[in-house]
Amino acid sequence: MESVSEEARVEELATRSGAGDVKEEVIRIRGLRKRYGEVVAVDGVDLTVYRGEVFGILGPNGAGKTTTLEMVEGLRRPDEGEIEVAGYDAVSEAGKLKRIIGVQLQTTALFDYLSVEETLSLFADLYGVGGSHGERVRSLLEMVSLSEKKDARVNQLSGGQQQRLSMALALINDPQVVFLDEPTTGLDPQARRNMWEMVRKIRSEGRTIVLTTHYMEEAEELCDRVAVMDRGRVLVCDTPLALIRSLDVDATVLVTVDGRLDGGLEWLPGVRGVERSGSDVRLQTANTQDTITALMRFAAERGVRLRNLSVQSANLEDVFISYTGRSLRD
Ligand SMILES: Nc1ncnc2c1ncn2[C@@H]1O[C@H](COP(=O)(O)OP(=O)(O)OP(=O)(O)O)[C@@H](O)[C@H]1O
C-alpha cells in the first residue's frame, strides 16, 4: 500500500499550487485558431499564464500543442485570436517579443562542426548579447552541467547533453519567458530527471516557463498549472492537484486473482470501474480503504487468493481519460 507516499505527494503538490500568491499575467491568449487546409490544429484556445510559474500544455500527439506554442512565440501566424506576451502582441510585435523570450530549438538545427562553447558564443552574437560573452557562456555551461564538454562538437554529445545545450541556448538572451517543446521526449529516465532539475533551476531564477509534454508524470512533477489539450482544444486548466481532486476517482487498485472472482466486483463499495486482463484486475475506486477491505472479504469468502495488491494514486492520465475516454498514450 502506498498511503504514506500518497500523503507526501499530495502535500508536495499542494505547496506547488501557488494559492494565495499575487498573480501577474505574463501571457494572455484569447480565441486562438489555426488550421492547415482541412485540419483544424488549434480550435479556439484561451489561456492565461502567470509570471514565475511553470505552465504545462499536456496532450497526446497531434493535440495542437506545438502549433499553439509556435504562435505564442511569434513564429507562426494565427488565423484568429489574440496573443499578448509580457505586453507585446505576438503578431504585430514579434520582433520585440523575440528579445524577451527563449525558445528551445531542436538540436538537429545546430551546427555539428562547432564546439559547444562556439555554439553558445555564436548565439550570443546573433542575439546581440552585449559586452564580453565569456562570463555568460561560462555560467550557462555550468548551469546545464556541460563545462567539461565545452570543446566537444555538438554531434559528439549524447541526446541528453544536446537537450541541455539547447536549454542553455534558450537562455542566452536572459529571457523572461522560456518555451520548451517536449523537452524530454526520447530521453532515458536519468536524462529526463536532469532536465527536470534544470527546469526547476530556471524557474528559481524568476523566469516563466511554458512547456509541452505528453508525459503525465512530467506535467505532474514540474508544472504549477497544466492545460490539458486534445484535438485543438483546451479541455481543462488548473493545478495538477486540483485536476486530480476534481475526479470522482481516488485511485486504481491493481491485483492478481488466483482463481475465479466473477461477478460482484462492480458492486464493491467505492468501485467506479473494473477492467480485467487475464488474472489481473484493475479497480477504479472513489474510496480506496472501503474497496480494499471489501475486496479482501469478497475473495476470502470465495476461497480465492489475491496476489500483487497495489494501489496507484489517481493521476493526470486519469484526468485525461475522464475527459476524453481515451488514454494519453493511445
Ligand atoms: N505544417 C503543418 N501542415 C499541415 N498540418 C500540420 C502542420 N503542423 C501540424 N499539423 C497538424 O496539426 C495538428 C496539430 O499538430 P501539432 O504538431 O500542433 O500537435 P502536437 O500536440 O504538438 O503534437 P506532437 O506532440 O505530435 O508534436 C496535427 O493534426 C498535425 O498533423
Residues in the chain: 330
ipTM value for the complex? 0.95
pLDDT digits (tens, 9 = 90+) for 18-35: 545 678 999 999 999 999
Nearest CA to ligand 1 atom 31: 62
Do 143 and 129 fall within a single domain?
A: yes
Question: Is residue 327 domain-resident?
Answer: no
Q: Is the pLDDT of residue 92 over 90?
A: yes
Residues 79 and 155 both lie in one domain: yes
Please state the atom number of ligand 1 nearest to the C-alpha of residue 66: 22
Q: What separation in Å is there between the alpha carbon of 321 and the centre of ligand 1?
A: 21
Smallest CA separation from ligand 1 atom 26, residue: 61
Contact at 8 Å (CB) between 221 and 65?
no
Name the residue of 34, 35, 65, 67 to mutate for ligand 1: max ligand atoms within 8 A of Cβ.
67
User: How much is the pTM?
Assistant: 0.85
User: Does residue 263 lie in a domain region?
Assistant: yes
Q: Count helices and strands (H / E) in the chain.
A: 11, 14
- Give the model's pLDDT for residue 236: 96
Q: How confident is the model at residue 3 (pLDDT cuts 50, 70, 90)?
A: very low
Task: Say how many Å lie between the CA of residue 7 and the centre of ligand 1.
Answer: 38
- Return the best residue to mutate from 34, 39, 215 for the ligand 1 pocket (most ligand atoms within 8 A of CB): 39
| DSSP code at position 108 | G
Percent of the chain past pLDDT 70, that is, above it, reads 92
Same domain, residue pair 309 and 167: no
Pair (153, 261) in one structural domain: no
Q: What is the pLDDT of residues 237-278, one digit of tens each?
A: 999 999 999 998 889 999 999 878 777 899 999 998 888 888
Pocket, ligand 1, Cβ cutoff 6 A: 36, 39, 41, 59, 61-67, 214
Least confidently predicted of 54-63, 117-126, 201-210, 219-228: 117-126
The reply to whether 2 falls in a domain is no
Residue 116 domain flag: yes
Residue nearest to atom 7 of ligand 1 (CA): 36
Query: Are 259 and 122 in a shared domain?
Result: no
Residue 60 burial by Cβ neighbours in a 10 Å radius (0-12, 13-18, 19+): middle
DSSP state of 214: S
Indicate which CATH number applies to the domain containing 95. Answer: 3.40.50.300
Task: Verify that 136 and 257 share a domain, yes or no.
Answer: no
The confidence band for 15, taking pLDDT boundaries of 50, 70 and 90, is low
CA distance 102 to 104: 7
What is the whole-number distance in angstroms between the Cα of residue 278 and the centre of ligand 1? 37
Range(s) of the domain holding residue 207: 9-245
Look-up of cell digits 481519460: 321
| Residue 94 falls inside a structural domain | yes
Q: Are residues 163 and 61 in the same domain?
A: yes
The CATH number covering residue 262 comes to: 3.30.70
Is 145 part of any domain? yes
CA distance 42 to 110: 29
Ligand 1 atom index nearest CA of 232? 14
Determine which residue's CA is closest to atom 6 belonging to ligand 1. 36
Q: Same domain for 76 and 193?
A: yes
Residue nearest to atom 18 of ligand 1 (CA): 64
Residues 119 and 268 in one domain: no
272-315: pLDDT as tens digits: 888 888 889 989 999 999 999 999 999 999 999 999 999 999 99
> Domain tally for the chain?
2
Buried b (16+ CB within 10 A) or exposed e, 281-302: bebbbbbbeebbebbeebbeee
In a domain, 320, yes or no: no
Domain co-membership, 198 together with 66: yes
